[in-house]
Amino acid sequence: MKENDLYDAIFKRKSIRNYDSTPLSQDLLDEVAENLRSLRPMANNIKTEFKIISPNQVKRAMKKAPSYIAAFSQAENGYMANIGFMLQQMDLYFSATSLGSCWLGIPLPSKEVTESSNLKYVILMSFGKSTETLHRTSISEFKRKNLSEITDIKGADELLEPARLAPSAINRQNWYFTGTKNAIQAYSFKPSFLRNLFGGRFYPINVGIALCHLKIAAEHFGRQTEIVFEEEKDRKPPKNCEYVASLRID
């Protein structure tokens, strides 16, 4: 899969919840597994594992998909953002290859699946052939905040617009970007107690997803990028926000 394919998918992808229940071919599942093995992490020191599982291995799913990805991680600092960053590459890959996918926070893998890994279970993603319209036809179909609500950086709209379009749990869009156009700091708004009960625990994943879009956009324009974790003295956090990571762009 070419990076440009992932970049193009940012502007048309949508979350798919209705699938053809026909099982996917083994060749297609093997291709998905190969792409899972090639995902780029945000943090190289965190162990991750991704398992392709069947619908009978998923509990509490209101609508079944033919296949799912269960994401597992070592519970190190930043592990949820790292999972968001990695698995969003698959979300874009599916959209670019005419399959549908959706992040799933409520359904859970079976006990058999969770016990098959030595790592901590994090989240599911469904995927399969869509029975609804696969892509958006216009940017206007995205229900997102304005750029001015998620960043104070000037002169980097071509990078920040793809991040603005990123999906998030319950569409919270809890990210904020500050710094400069060559060193973008990503922050997450801190969830209130009530919001923590309804999607707040996924806030770090959301920011990882947005960082994935940001990095893909920068590389699309021929820039060299590096995810870094800056020391506290180098940061100027916005009010009520937690630092996640920074993207350096050359």
pLDDT in the model for residue 1: 59
pLDDT in the model for residue 58: 98
Mean confidence (pLDDT) of the chain: 94
Question: d(Cα 2, Cα 199) in Å, to the nearest integer?
Answer: 32
Q: How does residue 238 score in pLDDT terms, banded at 50, 70 and 90?
A: confident
Question: d(Cα 61, Cα 75) in Å, to the nearest integer?
Answer: 25
Encoded amino acid at 33, one letter: A
100-159 tens-digit pLDDT: 999 999 999 999 999 999 999 999 999 999 999 999 999 999 999 999 999 999 999 999
Which single residue is written with the structure tokens 């600092």? 77
Provide CATH 3.40.109.30 ranges for the chain: 143-249
Find, among 131, 81, 75, 6, the residue nearest to 242 by Cα: 81
Sign, CA torsion 217/240/201/61: negative
Q: Has domain 3-128 been given CATH number 3.40.109.10?
A: yes
Rounded to 5°, the CA angle 146-194-125 comes to 65
Q: What percent of the chain has pLDDT over 70?
A: 96
Main-chain phi, psi angles of 199, to 5 degrees? 95, -10
- Checking if the pLDDT of 194 tops 80, the result is no
Question: d(Cα 26, Cα 226) in Å, to the nearest integer?
Answer: 35
* Cβ within 8 Å of residue 203, ≥6 positions away: 169, 172, 174, 188, 189, 190, 191
- Checking if the pLDDT of 197 tops 60, the result is no
Main-chain phi, psi angles of 248, to 5 degrees? -90, 135
> Beta strands 108-109 and 58-59: pairing type?
antiparallel
Largest Cα–Cα separation, the chain: 54
Burial class (CB in 10 A: 0-12, 13-18, 19+), 10: buried
Encoded amino acid at 103, one letter: W
- Checking if the pLDDT of 16 tops 70, the result is yes
34-62 tens-digit pLDDT: 999 999 999 999 999 999 999 999 999 98
Q: What is the mean pLDDT of residues 69-75?
A: 98
Provide CATH 3.40.109.10 ranges for the chain: 3-128
Task: Report the CATH fold assignment for 143-249.
Answer: NADH Oxidase (3.40.109)
Which single residue is written with the structure tokens 């996917």? 24
C-beta of residue 161 within 8 angstroms of C-beta of residue 151: no
The helix (H) or strand (E) run that includes residue 220 is helix 203-220
